[in-house]
Amino acid sequence: MKLLNVMLLSALSACIEAGLVHGRCQTLPSGQSPGHVSNVSITSSGKERSFLVFIPPGYSKDQPTPAILSYHGGVRDAEDQLHLDQLTSPDFNPGSLVIYPQGIQDTWQGVPGVKTDDIKFTADILDYVESHYTVDKRRIYATGKSDGGGFTNVLACDADMSLRFAAFAPVSGAFYIDAPSCNPDTVSVPCNAQRDNIPFIEFHGGNDTTIHYDGGARKKECLPSIPHFIQQWALRDDLGSSNQETHIAPNTVRYRFGSGSTAGLVEHYFESDIGHDWPSTAPNDDNQRSGHHVASYNATPIIVDFFSRHSL
């Protein structure tokens, strides 16, 4: 009995140290099991909303688990994002819970004309996830493609959400700004983040004809140039404007801001000849379109590694 009590106290201690709700480890909801994807519906702002949940094969209710929210692009859906980002592959993601929210009309808050409160939807998802799974609340992350990538920036710059997510990783992000005029290299990039040193990594192609790397007017709002946008994040994190450039392939450059303990707190990957894609060296739904091709690197393992280096 003494040994059993020690084991129970050890498991409870792990939950408490992870900052879990009420310090309790969570048994999986009925019908859900490790290694599988389930569809979950909740009510948010008076509407029924849904998301997919992938539970990693090694999930244990006694072990605090990181969680990644991955937001689909415009005119795509949660299932498309699941197949695109490969975060359900144990080769890339060995142990994180992955949540794929579904946008209303397949888009997200922050896109011009969208009135849905997806920040509230995300807060409701986090409340559900934290109360139904053994989640490490210090290690919750956000990534997404295109409109979904832009929404990760909305979350990063929200007063409450900036305190609940540890790091952000938009891919081919659409960072719309409502500005009276549009100079992509100087437009003010508003942000109301409520903590310092927010880890932020972005991936973009130089041949992106949807969300242009150089920015510009789109949908009656302004898209900042990606270099300007990333530099604003570096300045916001007090990293300065200088960066270290590393050519990881002939057409691909990694820009890393910061030094010492803050080295790589803000990063940007640029490949000059890929389009509006999720970078992958293997065929996916993006790079198999006409005029597109595989990238020189895989964004997904870089994202997972970046997330693993940061926590609240």
Element spanning 4, H or E: helix 2-17
The distance between the two most distant Cα atoms of the chain, rounded to a whole number of Å, is 71
- What is the rounded CA–CA span in Å between residue 110 and residue 99? 20
pLDDT score recorded for residue 15: 53
β partners of residue 47: 44
pLDDT score recorded for residue 27: 81
- What is the rounded CA–CA span in Å between residue 152 and residue 168? 6
Question: What are the structure tokens assigned to 62, written together?
Answer: 């006694």
- What is the rounded CA–CA span in Å between residue 77 and residue 140? 21
Note down pLDDT in tens along the chain; length 312 residues: 444 343 334 444 545 554 444 335 678 888 898 999 999 999 999 999 999 999 999 999 999 999 999 999 999 999 999 999 999 999 999 999 999 999 999 999 999 999 999 999 999 999 999 999 999 999 999 999 999 999 999 999 999 999 999 999 999 999 999 999 999 999 999 999 999 999 999 999 999 999 999 999 999 999 999 999 999 999 999 999 899 999 999 999 999 999 999 999 999 999 999 999 999 999 999 999 988 999 999 999 999 999 999 999
pLDDT score recorded for residue 17: 52
Residue partners of 261: CB distance under 8 A and separation at least 6: none
Residues 142, 144, 150, 156, Cα dihedral to 10°: 10
Domains of the chain in start order, with CATH, are 31-308 (3.40.50.1820)
Q: Residues of 211-222 as b/e, b for ≥16 C-beta within 10 angstroms? A: bbbebeeeeebb
Q: Please tell me the pTM assigned to this model.
A: 0.92
Quick one: 290 exposed, middle or buried, by C-beta within 10 A (0-12, 13-18, 19+)? exposed
pLDDT score recorded for residue 24: 52
Q: Which tens digits make up the pLDDT trace of 269-282?
A: 999 999 999 999 99
Closest CA to 59 of 32, 78, 39, 31: 32
β pairing state of 252-257 and 243-249? antiparallel
The alpha helices in 218-298, defined as continuous H runs, are 226-236
